[in-house]
Amino acid sequence: MQYGHFDDEKKEYVITRPDTPRSWCNYLGDVNYGALITNNAGGFSFYKSAANGRFMRFRPNTIPMDQPGRYVYVHDTDSKDYWSTAWQPVAKPHDSYKTKTRHGSAYTIIESEYSHIATETKFFVPLGKTYECWSIKITNNDTKTRNLRFFTYVEYATHWSLYQDIINLQYSQYIVRMSYHNGIINHASNPYLPVVKENFNVEQSRHTFLGLVGAEVSGFDTDRDAFIGKYRSYNNPIVVEQGACKGTIAEGDNGCGTLQWDISLAPGESKEVVVIMGIGQAFDEGLTAQKEIANPAIAEAEFQKLVAHWHNRIQGMTVSTPDAEMNSQLNMWSPFNCLMTFAWSRAASIVYSGERDGLGYRDTVQDMLGVLHVIPHEVTARLELMITGQESNGGAMPVVKPFDHNPGKMPKTPDHEYRSDDCMWLFNAVPAYVKETGDLAFYDKVLPYSDKGESSVLGHLRRAIEFNLERTGAHNLPLGLAADWNDCLVLGEKGETVFVAFQLRYALKTYIEICTMKNLAPEIQWAQHELSKLDANIEKHAWDGEWFIRAYNEKGETYGSKNNEEGSVWLNPQTWSVFSEYATGERANTVLNIVNKRLATEYGVMIIDPPYVKTDLAAIKAPLFNAGMKENGAIFQHTQGWAVIAETMRGNGKTAYEYYRASMPAAYNTKAEIREIEPYVYAQSTNSKSSSRFGASRLSWLTGAATWAYYAATQYILGIQPDYNGLIINPCVPADWKEFSVTRRFRGNNIIIRFSNPHGVQKGVQSIIANGEHISGNCIPIEKLQDHTIVEVIMG
């Protein structure tokens, strides 16, 4: 079943049926002022932190799952009928209410028509501002004059902390105070505390405003219960039904933001208004915002600036392949998905309701891989922040909070909270950053550790390796510690992880590459010695005859062995054995063939097989989840990119592409009733064949799956790989792909790369010509890559 389509020209996803299987979201704003909005205008806004800066109320896991939101109601003063400018919350019958939602790059447009009245509402946050605009165009398509009243509705949080607002009602229900100042509503939480604008972390009085441009305010309400009415809901507020505001002022309990304006429209006439909501006090920041957005034309100009800004970012890489759905995914939604994940980590979505504040170490370091080519300067700051989240012993703080991080003075993480994989991800991110930017001096930059001391970036990388070398178990493999990416493994204090062993191998190999480039012979010798010892231990203790085991617990019992009845095959050690280049040739073929035979499904590759049902929870937490869900045998989307990369490394373009498409959101646009979530962004997991809801996906938007899928598709399938000295061209595609092309921004220049595959190969480059000049090998030197360089690649 299909609920919408991709508009590639406008870079939008157009939802044509409002009753989507689940609420389909988009993001507005930036890292200061963020917002979520659904296809029915649900969602919330927040300032700096979704956990401690959320000023719009949002109730997690309600029915429907996106209420309340940014609502505008319409009341016909003649017929007394009323509706909303989005299908929800009034929910008029589909046969009389026509609507479509256009989700774009940091904006959403909802177009609706009911009773011959058409509305178009553009929701966006002007660039660099801490307020949002709802630009509303109202058109009378009737043959008679229509007299209408409009009512906004915002339900405010009593306290900006999600916990205080939703749970601690004995406190938070008494600290809200609403007021009205010459057409602007002021929402205050803890109004009797001082305002401390320069320090977000201090408990203080916090304010937001709601104003109107383009029409005169004719009424207002700020008391939620008075606006909605007793035993009513968002779909039938008493004020909207009766057609007039009451002028209520909330003191305590629950505040709302309702502004009323009246419009008479002749046949064919249109009028425009702009609702402005943002951070600050009505008589200060509110008035300033109204002056900045003085009329609807200015709002439209700001909207166009926003679109141009985001399109410029997204167009850092564009592709043309034989797969139209892949083009839609890679030319808009994957890069935008990566940018939003980079911005908000795992802090703000309909599912991540604010319980995860700050930047998770492992997540954030990986998230950079998907945005390096479009926002390298922003990545510089984020990467340095995360490196300073590493402790002097080489481990990492599990979470780094940008607004509360003081490098060199942070407390040491308790030993039982360290995770063995955290700093291993630096070996993916740091070299990728240097190769993308060409900033070789970054390896020598001195940065502090979080707790004490400092080192060069290269020194930080060495400490990351040493952290795991110093923490090994009975088989001389790295200890799993609190977790090793999979939070459900219970390895115990001395349990060992084969997955991190392969990460450590990748780290040592990468460290050798860097030190070779820098001519650091003693460091090369040290790393090669450690690599040799690690390889011997992997071969002796991790190979199970047909595949690699996953781990040992502290009792010496295996996970992921053919001797295990449940969880006998795990995906990650197989893919990372290839990714780390431990498994090559026939060994790589053996493990990847097992993956294809035991783990691959039509919706992606399962994380384990079979799932855990009878195993004791003391051994693994996976059975907490239903079989085929999340870590218990689901198609964990984060891992799909690794499977794609591994297949390209053995030259199997057909299977790599099949794996990529199996989890690609756009591939499910016509099967949305199966996947259920948005068909344009990635999810955390998809239920596997062990689940009764095979193919259903959950937890969309903020996931490492977005980054790794984009990285795998662009650098390993399409094969455009930044290197220290230029661009490596190394595609691996299905044999029937005869032509494809990529335009990529690299170090400030746009490079146009055209591929032809006359021999129908899956991998291999026969020749490269850059601006008419033959290139030796498959790395185009940086001096040959000027702006608008045209590269012709013949595969063979």
Query: 30 catalytic, yes or no?
Result: no
For residue 618, the model assigns a pLDDT of: 86
User: Can you state the angle between helices 585-594 and 640-649, rounded to 10 degrees?
Assistant: 140
* Gap between the Cα atoms of 44 and 358, Å rounded: 18
Contact between 18 and 88 (Cβ < 8 Å): yes
Task: Return the SS3 of 140.
Answer: strand
**What's the burial of 181, exposed, middle or buried (CB within 10 Å: 0-12/13-18/19+)?**
middle
Catalytic residue among 8, 81, 444, 487: 487
Q: Which two tokens stand for residue 758?
A: 């006359």
For residue 490, the model assigns a pLDDT of: 85
Backbone angles phi, psi at 499, to 5 degrees: -55, -50
Domains and CATH numbers, the chain: 4-314 (2.70.98.40), 721-795 (2.60.420.10)
Is this prediction's pTM over 0.95? Answer: yes
Task: Return the SS3 of 540.
Answer: helix
Q: Write out pLDDT tens, residues 325-374.
A: 999 999 999 999 999 999 999 989 999 877 778 899 999 999 999 999 99
In three state form, how does the secondary structure of 701-754 look?
CCCHHHHHHHHHHHHHHCCEEEECCEEEECCECCCCCCEEEEEEEECCEEEEEE
Burial 288-305 (b: 16+ CB within 10 A, else e): ebbeebeebebbbebbee
Amino acid occupying residue 636: F
For residue 358, the model assigns a pLDDT of: 87
For residue 286, the model assigns a pLDDT of: 98
Query: For each successive 10 residues of the chain (796 residues), what is the average pLDDT?
Result: 98 98 97 96 95 93 93 99 99 98 99 99 98 99 99 98 94 98 98 93 96 99 98 98 99 98 99 99 98 98 98 97 99 98 92 83 98 96 98 98 93 97 99 98 99 99 99 98 93 95 99 98 99 99 98 96 97 99 99 99 98 91 95 98 99 99 98 98 98 97 98 99 98 99 98 99 98 97 97 99
Could you tell me where the beta strands, DSSP code E, fall in 266-310?
Answer: 270-279
